[in-house]
Amino acid sequence: MPAAIETTSLTRRFGDFTAVDNVNLTVEAGQFFGFLGPNGAGKSTTIKMLTGLLAPTSGTIRILGADLTQNSAELKRQIGVVPEGMALFGRLTASEYLRFVGRMYGLDRATTEQRTAELLDFMSLADEQKKLVTDFSHGMQKKLALAAAVIHGPKVLFLDEPFEGVDAIAAGTLKQMLQRMIARGATIFLTSHVLEIVERLCTHIGIIHRGQLVAQGSIEQLRAGVASSGSVPLTLEQIFLEIVGTDRTGNLAATPPEQELSWLS
């Protein structure tokens, strides 16, 4: 079976700055993949390229075994995205937005209506029928964006910080939904800065740092690759800091500076 997501020498440059540098990434079908990295490491740029929103400078992307550039429209039907900034249409109500998205993904009218109702109920947005999306809170918008990303039953789901701004109860519900999608054969590619969530949900991890993929594998594999001082297994946070916290020469690179802001009281 082909990998759900596969990149070969994926590179993206913005002028002189290389945001993503020669990334070779493989996410097998059915994996819950966590994509980690410090701020500005290239996570969102990678997701944009994987979802066809940004063209790579060089390299190839294969989704479900097919080339993304060659089969852009067809593959977009197989993927769902919660993009950075959510990209909602603020002047629509939640149900109008979901109906629109469903139709854009080619669902028939009856299926769109049924799934819209189910999703609104599931996300606890059913009571906000008259409210425009622009008047939603950040968490509500996040839930709506996630509902829109799954309305067409995607095989691969890309989530850029899906739990940011979502309350704990809603986050629990969303996690449950995502895990059921995995159980049903979907592949999820997730970025988050909350390492506890990633550790709890994801089976496999990729770490990007300064545009380069510096680690990839299951959590056990990553753990095995990092030297541990004691018998207690390392947490993902410790693994992450161990990998990202040192540069190629072995010096500390991402640890807080030693200096003090002496003028702070």
- Name residues contacting other proteins, limited to 31-60 (CB under 8 A): 39-40, 42-45, 48-49, 51-55
Could you tell me which of 160, 213, 237 has the C-alpha nearest to residue 191? 160
**In whole angstroms, how close is the CB of 24 to other proteins at the nearest point?**
19
**Interacting stretch for other proteins, rule CB under 8 A, among 90-98, 194-202, 223-231, 233-241?**
90-98
Could you tell me which of 228, 255, 226 has the C-alpha nearest to residue 38? 255
Cβ contacts of residue 193 below 8 Å, gap of 6+? 161
Q: For the chain, report the end-to-end CA distance as a whole number of angstroms.
A: 60
**Interacting stretch for other proteins, rule CB under 8 A, among 66-74, 198-206, 217-225, 230-238?**
66-74
Could you tell me which of 171, 124, 177 has the C-alpha nearest to residue 149? 177
List 20's β-bridge partners, or say none. Answer: 12
Three-state DSSP class for 175?
Answer: helix
**In whole angstroms, how close is the CB of 142 to other proteins at the nearest point?**
10
Q: Locate tokens 């850029």: which residue?
A: 160
Q: In what order do the strands lie in the sheet with 204-209?
A: 79-82, 156-160, 187-191, 32-36, 204-209, 212-218
Rank residues 189 and 195 by Cβ distance to other proteins and give the closer one: 189
**In whole angstroms, how close is the CB of 233 to other proteins at the nearest point?**
29
Interaction between residue 61 and other proteins (CB under 8 A):
no
**In whole angstroms, how close is the CB of 232 to other proteins at the nearest point?**
31
**In whole angstroms, how close is the CB of 223 to other proteins at the nearest point?**
26
**Interacting stretch for other proteins, rule CB under 8 A, among 63-71, 192-200, 219-227, 234-242?**
63-71
Interaction between residue 134 and other proteins (CB under 8 A):
yes
> What whole-number distance in Å separates Cα of residue 149 and Cα of residue 81?
5
**In whole angstroms, how close is the CB of 182 to other proteins at the nearest point?**
11
Rank residues 79 and 234 by Cβ distance to other proteins and give the closer one: 79
Q: Which 222-261 positions form the footprint of other proteins (CB under 8 A)? A: 257, 259
> What whole-number distance in Å separates Cα of residue 97 and Cα of residue 100?
5
Binding mask 180-219 for other proteins (x = CB under 8 A): xx--xxxx----------------------x---------
Interface pick for other proteins out of 21, 33, 93, 234 (rule CB under 8 A): 93
Interaction between residue 118 and other proteins (CB under 8 A):
yes
List 158's β-bridge partners, or say none. Answer: 81, 189
List 204's β-bridge partners, or say none. Answer: 33, 218
Could you count the other beta carbons within 10 Å of the beta carbon of residue 155? 19
> What whole-number distance in Å separates Cα of residue 178 and Cα of residue 169?
14
Interface pick for other proteins out of 81, 178, 202, 222 (rule CB under 8 A): 81
Contact in structure between 189 and 27 (CB atoms under 8 Å) = yes
Size of the site for other proteins (CB under 8 A): 90
Interface pick for other proteins out of 10, 36, 156, 201 (rule CB under 8 A): 156
Interaction between residue 8 and other proteins (CB under 8 A):
no
